[in-house]
Amino acid sequence: MNRTAASAKRTRVQPTDLAVGRPLPYDIEDAYGHLLLRQGHPIRSEEQRRRLLQIGRTPYYATPDKRGSGGVQRRRETDPLSANPFDEIYRISFALQETFKWLGQRSGRFLSRLDTLTSRIGDLVERDPDASIGAAHLDEDFPYTVRHPIRQAILCDTVATQLGIPATERRSTVCAALTANVGMLELQRELERQVEPLSDEQLHAVRRHPTESARMLAAEGITDGTWLRIVAEHQERLDGSGYPEGLQGGQICRGARLLMIADTYMAMISTRSYRPATAVRETLLELLNQSGTVYDREMLSGFINTIGIYPPGSFVSLSNGERGVVVHRGERGEQPLVAAIVKANGQPTARPLHRDTSHGEAPDVVALEPTLTVAKRFNLGSLWGYGT
């Protein structure tokens, strides 16, 4: 069941339903329908209660208005604007950075922490997909080894939801996006500082990292075959030009075909030590030029239709001379909501000025532009209306 269907049958866990030391009145699941805690289990701490309130959902069968039969009465949902997604992105990034430190110790901590992080990403994307995509384009508080997996995980979840991919498979894909490069974390840290071409040894390590990542994850106790397969195949290409096995077409699983697009897109639009970022427009055009040959046509179409031709977080110029950040894709991808932060005279605005380009009297988007440094002077949450 996809998220749209599930939302009609589930609601967020409410504070009055949970108390430390009291048995749960129902199972609690995350945004993917993944079981977090079973009915009857007591809440052991206030921290556990807080986390369940943040990411918890009632299950499909905990339907409302079953008074006297053990059912749970549905209440008004928590306001989704109460949590700033950019603050949550920072906390998730920090947590992932710490989680990677447990890799290889085989204590169970790596898997348990990653399990919680995946649920938090599902909650984040469900609450505000536009802000989540925006954070994927703009947030740069952490090194590439941390921000890249989170960025591609956000895109994979958002696109998979749009495509109607089942929740369990979507969750496996997000898990894979977070862990696809664990087999080359140290090398990635080297490459982030390196400006010269890769050595033969480094190139060999890059080409074997999907296999090494899958091996390491299996050693940590991961038994989800879909997750492991996506990791092992995410660098394959439809025409057989990928690695490590040179798989072609239908030999590559669906999750890997989605992750390869998200991975390539985010890598291209990110600034690296050895090259500047590629503009969003040029990146999308390059991907389209290889649609059906290197990249799955249906997946790529779904990817572009989901993030839009003016993705949230991209910088655009308007027909009235203003420039700003796209904060919402709008009903039509070519008519987004823009937070203008540079006036027509080139001076920064005192506060974001929201322009809905779908309205007839509003300015039109003229072009995508490189993101200006001035955009970093604004609190990202404020561009999306958080904390204002």
The string of pLDDT tens digits covering residues 191-227 is 888 888 889 999 999 999 999 999 999 999 999 999 9
* Co-location of 143 and 26 in the same domain: no
* Co-location of 288 and 366 in the same domain: no
* Co-location of 115 and 261 in the same domain: yes
Q: Is the pLDDT of residue 73 over 80?
A: no
* Co-location of 344 and 220 in the same domain: no
* Co-location of 181 and 196 in the same domain: yes
* Co-location of 115 and 223 in the same domain: yes
Q: For residue 171, what pLDDT is reported?
A: 98
Q: Is the pLDDT of residue 297 over 80?
A: yes
* Co-location of 263 and 132 in the same domain: yes
Q: For residue 199, what pLDDT is reported?
A: 92
| In contact, 327 and 338? CB cutoff 8 Å | yes
Q: CA nearest 50: which of 1, 74, 83?
A: 83
* Co-location of 170 and 71 in the same domain: no
* Co-location of 1 and 103 in the same domain: no
Look at residues 38, 60, 78 and tell me which one is the last residue of a structural domain.
78
Q: Is the pLDDT of residue 276 over 50?
A: yes
Q: For residue 9, what pLDDT is reported?
A: 60
Q: For residue 374, what pLDDT is reported?
A: 64
Say how far residue 110 (Cα) sits from the centre of its chain.
20
SS (H, E, C) the chain: CCHHHHHCCCCECCHHHCCECCECCCCEECCCCCEEECCCCEECCHHHHHHHHHHCECCCCCCCCCCCCCCCCCCCCCCHHHCCHHHHHHHHHHHHHHHHHHCCCCCCHHHHHHHHHHHHHHHHHHHCHHHHHHHHHHCCCCCHHHHHHHHHHHHHHHHHHHCCCCHHHHHHHHHHHHHCCHHHHHHHHHHHHCCCCCCHHHHHHHHHHHHHHHHHHHHCCCCCHHHHHHHHHCCCCCECCCCCCCCEHHHCCHHHHHHHHHHHHHHHHCCECCECCCCHHHHHHHHHHCECCCECHHHHHHHHHHHCCCCCCCEEEECCCCEEEEEECCCCCCCCEEEEEECCCCCEEEEEEEEECCCCCCCCEEEEECCCHHHHHCCHHHHCCCCC
- 319 located within any domain: yes
The pLDDT of 308-326, averaged and rounded, is 94
Q: Assign 333 a pLDDT band (cuts: 50, 70, 90).
A: confident
* Co-location of 148 and 256 in the same domain: yes
Highest mean pLDDT range out of 298-307, 362-371, 376-385?
Answer: 298-307
More confident residue, 37 or 374: 37
Q: Is the pLDDT of residue 79 over 50?
A: no
Q: For residue 2, what pLDDT is reported?
A: 41
- 388 located within any domain: no
Look at residues 78, 107, 129 and tell me which one is the last residue of a structural domain.
78
Total number of domains constituting the chain: 3
Look at residues 243, 272, 307 and tell me which one is the last residue of a structural domain.
307
Q: Is the pLDDT of residue 80 over 90?
A: no
* Co-location of 153 and 289 in the same domain: yes
Q: For residue 208, what pLDDT is reported?
A: 96
* Co-location of 21 and 149 in the same domain: no
Quote the domain boundaries for residue 274: 83-307
- 189 located within any domain: yes
